Amino acid sequence: MNEQNKSFQVGDQVIHWVYGLGEIVRLDEKKLAGRSGRYYVVQIRDLTIWVPLDEAGEHYLRFPTPAKDFQKLFLLLASPGEPLETDRYKRKTQVAELLKDGTLESICRVVRDLAAYKRHHKINDNDNAILERARNFLLSEWSVALAVPVQQAEHQLKGLLEESVL
């Protein structure tokens, strides 16, 4: 069983693939959507969510990326971006496909590629929203993993993305 799919415990910090960084605050027996089961209760900022304890539910959660893995991510962020589709519908599908696995590496690719695209093209509201959301996911996980303030991570990210242009 790989580290990304092992069972989580109360008190673990986790990344939910949709909502971002949170903490498992308790386990709960509950009937949701007509289905009884055990759930992780995850607190994410001012949001509480219930994630099934089964394998399908654990697919939505992962542990934060270890600090040692960030060097590889920094290299990725500083590398030239992959070209994105100029057609907004195709680009939306392309970016959604990148984000499907929920890994921080995929999030970094989206941040890098949309930031590069934005330098040369006008981007629409959907692109802006995805870029901002991906950036916030990245910065919150970066801040936790490397124990640095979000503002410091943001400054470093800006520098890495500027390197990708050179």
Per-residue pLDDT, 41: 94
Q: What is the pTM of this model?
A: 0.82
Residue with tokens 């984000």: 99
The mean pLDDT value for 144-151 works out to 94
Q: In whole numbers, what is the pLDDT of the chain averaged over residues? A: 90
Strand order across the beta sheet in which 20-32 lies: 47-52, 35-44, 20-32, 13-16, 61-62
* Predicted confidence (pLDDT) at residue 149 exceeds the cutoff of 70: yes
Q: Write the CA distances from 85 to 1, 20, 93, integer angstroms.
A: 37, 27, 9
Helices (H), 100-149: 104-120, 125-146
Whether the Cβ atoms of residue 24 and residue 64 lie closer than 8 Å to each other: no
- For 45-96, the pLDDT digits (tens) are 999 998 988 877 777 899 999 999 999 999 999 999 899 999 999 999 999 9
Per-residue pLDDT, 166: 60
pLDDT band with cut points at 50, 70 and 90 for residue 36: confident
**Domain edges within the chain:** 3-62, 67-163
- For 100-120, the pLDDT digits (tens) are 888 899 999 999 999 999 999
> Which of 103, 100, 102, 81 shows the shortest CA–CA distance to 92?
100
Q: For the domain made up of 3-62, give the CATH fold.
A: Thrombin, subunit H (2.40.10)
Per-residue pLDDT, 6: 59
Residue 81, φ and ψ in degrees, nearest 5: -70, 155
Query: 135 or 35, which is more confident?
Result: 135
Whether the Cβ atoms of residue 42 and residue 51 lie closer than 8 Å to each other: yes
Give the integer Cα–Cα distance in Å for 110 and 1: 28
Q: For the domain made up of 67-163, give the CATH fold.
A: Methane Monooxygenase Hydroxylase; Chain G, domain 1 (1.20.58)
Residue with tokens 């092992």: 6
